[in-house]
Chains A and B, each alone.
Chain A
Amino acid sequence: EIVLTQSPGSLSLSPGERATLSCRASQSVTGNYVAWFQQKPGQAPRLLFYGASSRATGIPDRFSGSGSGTDFTLTISRLEPEDFAVYYCQQYATSPARYIFGQGTKLEIK
């Protein structure tokens, strides 16, 4: 079974800075079926990207998703105060269908 490892575990940055979050799979992800979610305290996760780079509805273009194979990246070009949250990557596999989440990266205000 694929294991997703997110790095770093936590990241401390200031508003206006660039954030780069990594998600590495233990084996190649078929079809680049990776999604990214943002979760703020006390809230449900929010879909940011699916298929590694397809932006979900309403997601600002300062967010970008990229990657293929085993290495995937979520980039936030210029951090806004509302971007500080926990970010999860998720892999979708078929046959049988299953969804695996990474352990999360906590993005904190410096």
Chain B
Amino acid sequence: QVQLQESGPGLMKPSGTLSLTCTVSGASISSNYWWSWVRQPPGKGLEWIGEIYHSGTANYNPSLQSRVTMLIDNSKNQFSLRLTSVTAADTAVYYCAKHIEVLGKRGFDYWGQGTLVTVSS
């Protein structure tokens, strides 16, 4: 059974750098999957942040691209998210997710439980 678990600080101060890690079990992060981060502000909808492949190739949401970096650690079966210059608008539940892809059709088939990150002074 594939499982993903987010970890990181729950509370941050404005202008700081958010760092989250997603630990994967039940699947090798070196397999032919993409891995994504998605966030959801309290009471609002879902926003895709970015995706990364085991090679380290990453794609980011254009609206966040200037502040986002994703990295992958194949030896630890983990991937991570770094978001700089955070503000209250970055307060959200952050999810990591695994992709499924069949004949070009994609979806996020496994998700972590999510971790709430609050940005407040």
Asked whether any CB of chain A lies closer than 8 Å to the CB of B59, the reply is yes
Interface residues on B, range: 20 to 34
| Residue in chain B with minimal CB distance to A96 | B59
B21 to chain A, nearest CB (A): 17
Complex contact B48–A98 (CB within 8 A):
yes
Contact check, A45 vs B105: say whether CB atoms are below 8 A apart. Answer: no
Most B CB atoms within 10 A — which of A57, A96, A98?
A98
Chain B residues within an 8 Å CB radius of A104: 45-46
Query: When chains A and B are docked, how far (Å) is the Cα of A61 from the Cα of B35?
Result: 27
Tell me the nearest residue of chain A to B4, going by C-beta: A44
Check if A33 sits within 8 Å of B105, measured CB to CB: yes
Residue pair B112, A31 in contact (C-beta under 8 Å):
no
A 71-100 contacts with B by CB, 8 A:
88, 90, 92, 96-100
Interface size class of A (residues with CB under 8 A): 20 to 34
CB-defined contacts of B97 to chain A, threshold 8 Å: 44
Do A50 and B112 contact each other (CB < 8 Å), given the known contacts A98-B61, A101-B45, A101-B48?
A: no
Interface residues of A in 15-64 (CB under 8 A from B): 31-33, 35, 37, 39, 43-47, 49-52, 54, 56-57
CA distance A98 to B108 in the complex (A): 13
